Amino acid sequence: MITGLTPDFHLRQFRGRETCLNRAILVSRRRLFEIMRLSTLFGKTLRQAPAEADTVSHQLLLKAGMIHQVAAGVYAYLPLGWRVLRKIEQIIREEMDAAGGQEVMLPVLQPFEMWQETGRDLAFGKSLFTLTDRRDRDLCLGPTHEEIVTALACFNVRSYRDLPMMPYQIQTKFRDEPRPRGGLLRVREFHMKDLYSLDVSQEALDRSYQKMIRAYNNIYARCGLPVVMVEADSGAIGGKDSHEFILLAETGEDEVIYCAQCGYAANADRAAFARPEVENKGEPLPLEEVSTPGVKTIEELARFLGVLTSQTLKAVFYAADGEVVFVVIRGDLEVNEVKLKNALKCIEVRLATEGEVAGAGLVAGSASPIGLSGIRIVADDSIAMGANFVIGANKPDAHLKNANYPRDFKVDIMTDIALAQAGYRCVGCGAELLSERGIEVGHLFKLGTVFSEKMGAFYLDQDGTEKPIVMGCYGIGLGRLLAAAVEQNHDEKGIIWPLSIAPHQVYLCPLSIDRDEVAEAAGKLYSELRKARFEVLFDDREESPGVKFNDADLLGIPIRVVVSPRTLKQGAAEVKLRTKREVELVPLGDVVEKLKGILGSSSTSGHHSKRAPRA
């Protein structure tokens, strides 16, 4: 205590601060009251969605005034959309904390040399936003934070006693997507939860991984969103194993291949399948050249020779980091470019141009690995499942019959590079595989030691031996989850929010609010609902019933309460659930208890949710 000041002075100071605090709370409450009024809401509903809105969620979120597009792949969240995002954020935060996570805040700006140290500057390529500061130092805007977390681990982990650790953050990320689309589904600036597990061993990582699977399932259940967990490709993040959580939706850009019999499920980029049986089996026969004038495609070749496409081998030419690569696969199968990219361990893979093909000395439409040299050959393992295939003769208008691997040609890489599709057979149980479209709403990665070894993040074990920290990372895109919820929960009138993430619980809709009795009854009911701690959006606009009802449906608030001259004649209000067509007349004095009953018994699941395959 500072000398010379009496206790009364300190008491007056405290009371003064208390008065200021009370005033601040009162002002905050008044502001909240105003924000809850639709007439003062920052963000207006639209009758028509902008023409460029290409998905349901994009259209409805724009029409509902919940988001606004600032630039390609860059969006502002307006009050109602921000409330949804904050609710999702809070659910995620609670589950991460319950799982042992420790919240941190990591920098958006990252030294570019960190990304060069791990090699991910090349893996991310043009998706990485880069800049230079006034001292000509190279920086990037973080699309993810593995490098930063690993660098922090170097300073904060010394021995096995310091592990495990699970830091996480909810932060803005940046990725320069080549084709932003679908509103919040694929953007260049986005909100993301990323947690990183630091463990002493692979077994400990497995435990952390399972802990995160449980936490993620809790998050989606609390958000009212049924998901399926599927095997996935690790992509530029790296690591050995990874899984995605997919919310099924017809507009999703991901395809899930799954087996209803045994529960196998994987993203199409990763999915395995049992190759269809072929008829061409038996002893290898001598090569035989046949004339095939004008025949270019596998389908044309099969028709011309009267064989099945599975009795042919087709050539596909790719450019992998600028190098032309010859890919050979059985004629009835398609190449999975993600699997091919992983097999080649390259940064970029794409179909080769006509010029690149000609420059490599390849004959489009009649190419073959037989006799080729000076070019890498990658083969799908299906080429060994059969015998006496038809293949190109490396000259126009000619093919070879009875080609056999490895008798007639060699390959540099033999692996699974085939694209799984519905109708193929499950590699586990043999049942027919099915497919659904979906939206990725979460991704888990077992990173292992790939980052810790490159950046020197080691710990001393019980024997004093230095070992690399074993890492995992776990991400959820909040905006994508919000958009996915709309994709799965809507009808022709608008959004149908799951209760737990709805911007408000109750839409209070007085009709003829210019009449004193309606304004008084609605105002009193609003106060009672707020006192009972309901989240209420008060539509105090002087608009027609049609406009108000349309906006109520568009915004997707779970419960609509209508006060009108007609209902007041019976001393009641109309209560309607967004998911129901029926309207119930409830005495004004019973509305609060009625809503408590509804909200207490309501499931958080979406009304129009699609049934997910078993994970």
The rounded average pLDDT for each run of 10 residues, N- to C-terminus, in the chain (615 residues) is 35 42 41 65 90 92 96 96 97 98 97 95 92 96 97 96 97 94 94 98 97 97 94 68 90 90 92 87 91 93 94 95 95 95 90 93 92 93 93 94 95 96 93 94 95 96 96 97 95 96 97 94 94 94 95 97 96 96 95 92 46 43
The answer to the question of residue 480 being in a domain is yes
CATH number at residue 521: 3.40.50.800
Query: At CA 240, angle to CA 239 and CA 243, rounded to 5?
Result: 95
CATH number at residue 177: 3.30.930.10
Same domain assignment for residues 211 and 129: yes
The answer to the question of residue 562 being in a domain is yes
Q: In this predicted structure, what is the pLDDT of residue 237?
A: 54
SS3 467: strand
* Segments forming the whole domain that contains residue 106: 78-251+438-487
Same domain assignment for residues 292 and 405: yes
Same domain assignment for residues 378 and 456: no
Q: In this predicted structure, what is the pLDDT of residue 241?
A: 81
Q: In this predicted structure, what is the pLDDT of residue 601?
A: 65
| pTM for the predicted model, two decimal places | 0.85
The answer to the question of residue 454 being in a domain is yes
Same domain assignment for residues 120 and 239: yes
Same domain assignment for residues 345 and 410: yes
**Cα–chain center distance at 100:** 23
Same domain assignment for residues 476 and 509: no
Q: Where would I find the H helices in 41-178?
A: 56-63, 79-98, 112-118, 120-124, 146-156
Same domain assignment for residues 471 and 518: no
Same domain assignment for residues 193 and 99: yes
The answer to the question of residue 72 being in a domain is no
The dihedral built from the CA positions of residue 288, 292, 296 and 298, taken in this order, carries a sign that is negative
Token couple for 18: 């208390």
Give whole-number Cα distances, 19 to 13, 28, 484, 516, in Å: 10, 14, 45, 36
Q: In this predicted structure, what is the pLDDT of residue 51?
A: 85
The answer to the question of residue 409 being in a domain is yes
Q: In this predicted structure, what is the pLDDT of residue 349?
A: 92
Q: In this predicted structure, what is the pLDDT of residue 610?
A: 42
Q: In this predicted structure, what is the pLDDT of residue 599?
A: 87
Q: How many domains does the chain divide into? A: 3
Token couple for 569: 């004649």
User: What does the alpha-carbon distance between residue 374 and residue 371 come to, in Å, rounded to a whole number?
Assistant: 10
Same domain assignment for residues 195 and 139: yes
The answer to the question of residue 37 being in a domain is no
Same domain assignment for residues 228 and 86: yes
Same domain assignment for residues 120 and 202: yes
Q: Where would I find the H helices in 197-265?
A: 202-222
User: What does the alpha-carbon distance between residue 468 and residue 388 come to, in Å, rounded to a whole number?
Assistant: 50
Same domain assignment for residues 382 and 460: no
User: What does the alpha-carbon distance between residue 126 and residue 347 come to, in Å, rounded to a whole number?
Assistant: 11
In single-letter form, the type of residue at position 48 comes to Q
User: What does the alpha-carbon distance between residue 557 and residue 549 come to, in Å, rounded to a whole number?
Assistant: 11
Token couple for 1: 């205590």
Q: Which of 540, 586, 527 is nearest to 559 (CA)?
A: 586
Q: In this predicted structure, what is the pLDDT of residue 235?
A: 64
The answer to the question of residue 56 being in a domain is no
CATH number at residue 376: 3.90.960.10
